[in-house]
Structure 1
């Protein structure tokens, strides 16, 4: 099925990060200009103008960008390295490749597939991997390959993780855990070599474990929510990308809470994926700067 990716031909996205100091903005602007580029948008943030960290996202247009990129990258290396800055530059006409891991809950998965089909996510989806088969027919109806990798009971998931890593290797730029209800091992995270984005209900750590919405109802919560974050070896402690909440009252049942929670989860995860795909998220320690 055709995917309508926004026309971003000849547009580059430059991310700059490093110690704040006078002259960074002018140096970046001059670099773009001498490489025949025209700045389309520019966002920046400094944690402290005196001794703080500087972050910048620049989108610029440059005719025949693909041919010019090696020369631009060489200029960036000379100019920004001298200022002690790190940088990445991407061709915005090349969508990132996103794999999705899912278990039995399909609301986040279907939201991503639907938005992708509508051209709202600037990604391609080379595969969906699940430890169950209940979503296979829906996934394939979107023209996306589905792979079933069972996760056996017990603590040793090494064989399943090895199969997943083989599917991912060289084929994806990032992975989304769309309610994938398996804890990935440190060895998996060391090997995968691409960012992973997760979604969970915001009751953590207050309502850890099974049936969080039932526990929330018993506690009489007034807000429910969701958090999307990057995956690290510390469970559910990675840098937060996006969060949102919905107000509830005493009249809502546990089923009502779950339905509202699913709606928030879909929206939060979709925004996090969109921002990551558009290079709007800069990781800084265990925090993120989202432009």
Structure 2
């Protein structure tokens, strides 16, 4: 007997019977639900559901899709069915800081992140040896104000040629153009520090030290045309105190950044994230 695991996600306007539309068909086919999450947003009048289920027999995916499409059509559902064995292709963009990239590559190597990485893109050559050690193509595409449009066109070509389903900005220290943000909106994840008060410009951790901050954090979000203000997927925070000098704050911040980013990537890959206007619905595990 073969066993396989699948994930079915759907969202639609709030209506009576939406949960049964999903679970009823799974019961009819005798597929065992191993994880079920749903949320009805009374403000947006939108319903969201994620069902992970186990199949202990030969699975006729095409037939299941046909039957569910009939059910989903009655509710205007946008839905997706995917095997947990599938590994989506993820392109990573990075500059010189390697902590987030290292964490993603390690978790990819040990199978904690079920993804393929067809390309790493950077505006600096510094991390080429790291990519080479992992056997991943590394594209060094330097960028200046004058060459930005040409460089971004090359970046997008690599992403599209790789059939990437997700782009991860693992401390890619360049502001993307409005055009590129619009192309990647909803399927590119960025990470940045979260400090209160908000410290902008150079050396934010040094500014935070001068103000005596008591927490350090990071935010992972989908990119859009508003700099660092896209829909939030995951956040991390840790306490600090007067004993933390700027270099200590930086080290703590880097740890939080790598953990928060990898968690956001995993949530996306496991189809736990739904866009809900400018916000997200996240079924964390």
Aligned CA distance change for structure 1 residues 79 and 212 (closer, same or farther; 3 Å):
same
SS in 1 for 2:158: helix
Name 2:155's counterpart in structure 1: 164
Aligned CA distance change for structure 1 residues 286 and 81 (closer, same or farther; 3 Å):
same
> In structure 2, how many angstroms separate the alpha carbons of the residues matched to 1:132 and 1:204?
30
Q: Shift in Å at residue 96 of structure 1?
A: 0.9
Name 2:171's counterpart in structure 1: 179
Name 1:88's counterpart in structure 2: 80
Q: Shift in Å at residue 276 of structure 1?
A: 0.8
TM-score using structure 1 length: 0.90
SS in 1 for 2:15: coil
2:268 to 253, 276, 287: 276
Indicate whether 1:127 and 2:142 are aligned. no
> In structure 2, how many angstroms separate the alpha carbons of the residues matched to 1:57 and 1:241?
16
Q: Shift in Å at residue 203 of structure 1?
A: 2.4
> In structure 2, how many angstroms separate the alpha carbons of the residues matched to 1:127 and 1:240?
25
Which string of whole-angstrom CA distances, capped at 9 and with x for unpartnered residues, describes residues 211-253 of structure 1?
Answer: 1101111111111100000001111111101111111112211
Contact map agreement 2:186 2:223 (CA 8 A) in 1: no
Aligned CA distance change for structure 1 residues 247 and 51 (closer, same or farther; 3 Å):
closer
How many residues of Structure 1 are paired with residues of Structure 2 in the alignment? 280
Contact map agreement 2:186 2:224 (CA 8 A) in 1: no
Name 1:60's counterpart in structure 2: 53
Q: Shift in Å at residue 33 of structure 1?
A: 3.1
Q: Shift in Å at residue 156 of structure 1?
A: 5.0
> In structure 2, how many angstroms separate the alpha carbons of the residues matched to 1:183 and 1:174?
18
Indicate whether 1:114 and 2:110 are aligned. no
RMSD value over aligned CA atoms? 2.0
Task: Kindly report which structure 2 residues correspond to 1:181-200, keeping only aligned pairs within 5 A, or say none.
Answer: 181-192=173-184, 195-200=187-192
Q: Shift in Å at residue 165 of structure 1?
A: 1.0
Name 2:37's counterpart in structure 1: 43
Runs of 5+ unmatched residues, structure 1: 1-7
Contact map agreement 1:174 1:194 (CA 8 A) in 2: no
Contact map agreement 2:205 2:246 (CA 8 A) in 1: yes
Contact map agreement 2:184 2:224 (CA 8 A) in 1: no
> In structure 2, how many angstroms separate the alpha carbons of the residues matched to 1:96 and 1:215?
39
SS in 1 for 2:237: strand
Aligned CA distance change for structure 1 residues 247 and 204 (closer, same or farther; 3 Å):
closer
Q: Shift in Å at residue 170 of structure 1?
A: 4.1
1:235 to 218, 221, 227: 227
Name 1:4's counterpart in structure 2: none
Q: Shift in Å at residue 84 of structure 1?
A: 2.6
SS in 2 for 1:169: helix
